[in-house]
């Protein structure tokens, strides 16, 4: 194991496809906790190769809070801001709903409610790693717009907290990596060198 000092300098998500059983606990927990509209799926679970022996896997996908986040790069109105610990958040009041961030995102994290007349998109909504938004922490407005701010209360983001099999982990990158490493060593065979999506999100 690493040192006992956890400095939370870089928060990451990790989903272990050896454990994910597509129970959708994470996606439902997220929707419930933040009282999202039904058409938004901040977190979703995807199963690949369903029904095929040796090939079927499931993974829970949401915003990865990337290093050099592409969404932040492309936003025309610069409504994103990235926290010190890597959590990528945005300001819904500034957002104009152009959806460029969605096109730029490798993971499809930004979501748009069908808000307006004539099928226009509303403002962007995405996983906040339960860290709220630019409004005052734990204020009513923050809760209305962005959902719970659990990080500010020292709580685990609700998706990972609810994960049935602890496939989904979140937290300081080093601690998460350690858990991953332990599991890889315990399994002893047949796992890829990095969790899916980590090279896209956090670079090599």
Partner 1 sequence: MANTWGYGAMTNSLGDIQNSKAIIIFGANPAVNHPVGFQHFLKAKERNNAKIIVVDPRFTKTAAKADYYAQIRPGTDIPFMYGMLNIIFKNNWHDKNFINDRVYGMEDVMEEAKNWPIERVADVTGVDADLIVQITKHYAQHTPGTLIWAMGLTQHTNGSSNTRMAPILQLALGNMGVEGGGTNILRGHDNVQGATDMCCLSHTLPGYYGLSDGSWKYFAKSWGVDYEWLKGRFKDPSWMNKKGFTLARWWAGVLGGNPGEDAIHNADTRLKALFVMGNGITSTAQTKKVKEALDNLDIAVFVDPFVNEGAIITDKQDDVYILPAGTQFETSGSVTATNRSAQWRTEVVKPMYESKADQDIMFELAKRLGFYDELTAGMKIRENKKEYKWPEDATDEIARIIKTIGLTGWTAKRLKEHQENWHMFDEVSGRGYGKMTGEYYGLPWPCWTEKHAGSPLLYNINRSVKDGGMGFRNRFGLEHDGEDLLAGKGSAPKGSVNKDGYPEITRDNIEEVLKIKLTDDEKSKIGKNWKVDTSNIIAEKCMEQGMAPYGNAKARAKVWTFADPIPLHREPLHSPRTDLVKEYPSFTDKKNHYRVDTRYASEQSKQDWAKDFPINLVTGRLVNMNGAGMENRASKYLAKLTPEMFCDIHPDLAGRSGIRDGSMMWIHSPQGTKIKVKAKYSFSVSEDRVFLPFHFAGVMEGESLLHKYPDGTAPYAIGESANTVTNYGYDIVTQIPETKGGLCRIERA
Partner 2 sequence: MEYKVHHMVGIKRMENKSFFSEYKVYLIIGLLFAILTYWYFWLATIADIGYVYQFLLQIAQGNITGQVVPFESLSHHEQMETALFGPNYNAIAPEVIRAFEERQHLLPIVFAVEFALFVTMFIIAKGRKQAEITREDDKVQVYSLFQRIVLMLNIIVMIYLFITGFSITFGNWTGGGEIARFMRATHEIVGVGWIPVWLIMTIIAFKDHKHFARPSMKIWNKIFLRGSYQPMNRINYYAYVAFGFLLVLSGFIIWWMSPDAATHAETIQFKRFILFIHFMGSAIISFFTFETVYSYFVSVKGYIPGVITGKLPVEYLEQLRPDVLAEEDLRK
120 contacts partner 1 (rule: CB under 8 A): no
Q: Looking at 22-30, 107-115, 116-124, 126-134, which segment touches partner 1 (CB under 8 A)?
A: 22-30
Q: Cβ neighbours of residue 87 under 8 Å, at least 6 residues apart?
A: 11, 65, 128, 129, 131, 151
Instruction: Could you list the beta-strand ranges (E) of the chain.
Output: 11-15, 44-48, 57-61, 80-82, 88-90, 168-172
> Comparing C-alpha atoms, which of 159, 96, 82 is closest to residue 124?
96
Residue 102 binding target from partner 1, partner 2, none, CB below 5 to 8 Å by type: partner 2
Nearest C-alpha neighbor of 11 from the set 183, 186, 171, 139: 171
Residue 38 or 117 with smaller CB distance to partner 1: 38
Residues that bind partner 2 (CB under 8 A): 17, 39-41, 44, 46, 48-49, 55, 57, 59, 61, 70, 73-79, 91, 93-100, 102-104, 106-108, 110-112, 114, 116-121, 123, 192, 196-197, 200
Strand, coil or helix: 169? strand
| CA dist., res. 19 & res. 139, Å (int) | 36
Task: Give which of partner 1, partner 2, none residue 112 binds (C-beta under 5 to 8 Å, depending on kind).
Answer: partner 2
Question: Which segment (30-38, 67-75, 85-93, 149-157) binds partner 1 by CB under 8 A?
Answer: 30-38
Beta carbon nearer to partner 2, 51 or 154: 51
Q: How far is residue 94's CA from residue 201's CA, in Å, rounded to a whole number?
A: 25
165 binds partner 1 (CB under 8 A): yes
Phi, psi of 11 (to 5 degrees): -90, 135
Whichever of 21 and 77 has its CB closer to partner 1, that residue is 21
Interacting residues toward partner 1 by CB under 8 A: 18-19, 21-25, 27-28, 31-32, 38, 50-53, 56-58, 164-166, 183, 186-188
């Amino acid at each position: 194991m690493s040192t006992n000092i956890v400095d939370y300098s870089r928060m990451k998500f990790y989903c272990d496809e050896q454990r994910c059983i597509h129970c959708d606990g994470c996606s439902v927990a997220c929707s419930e906790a933040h009282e999202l509209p039904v058409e938004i799926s901040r977190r979703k679970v995807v199963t690949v190769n369903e029904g095929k022996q040796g090939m079927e896997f499931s993974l829970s996908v949401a915003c990865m809070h990337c290093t050099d986040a592409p969404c932040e790069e492309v936003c025309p109105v610069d409504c994103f801001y990235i926290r010190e610990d890597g959590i990528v958040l945005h300001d819904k009041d500034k957002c104009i709903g152009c959806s460029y961030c969605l096109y730029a995102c490798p993971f499809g994290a930004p979501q748009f409610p069908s808000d307006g007349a004539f099928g226009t998109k509303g403002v962007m909504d995405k996983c906040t790693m339960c860290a709220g938004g630019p409004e005052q922490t734990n204020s009513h407005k923050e809760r209305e717009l962005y959902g719970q701010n659990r990080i500010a209360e020292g709580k685990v983001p609700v998706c990972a907290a609810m994960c049935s099999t602890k496939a989904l982990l979140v937290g300081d990158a080093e601690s998460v990596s350690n858990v991953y490493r332990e599991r890889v060593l315990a399994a002893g065979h047949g796992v890829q060198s990095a969790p899916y999506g980590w090279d896209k999100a956090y670079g090599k």
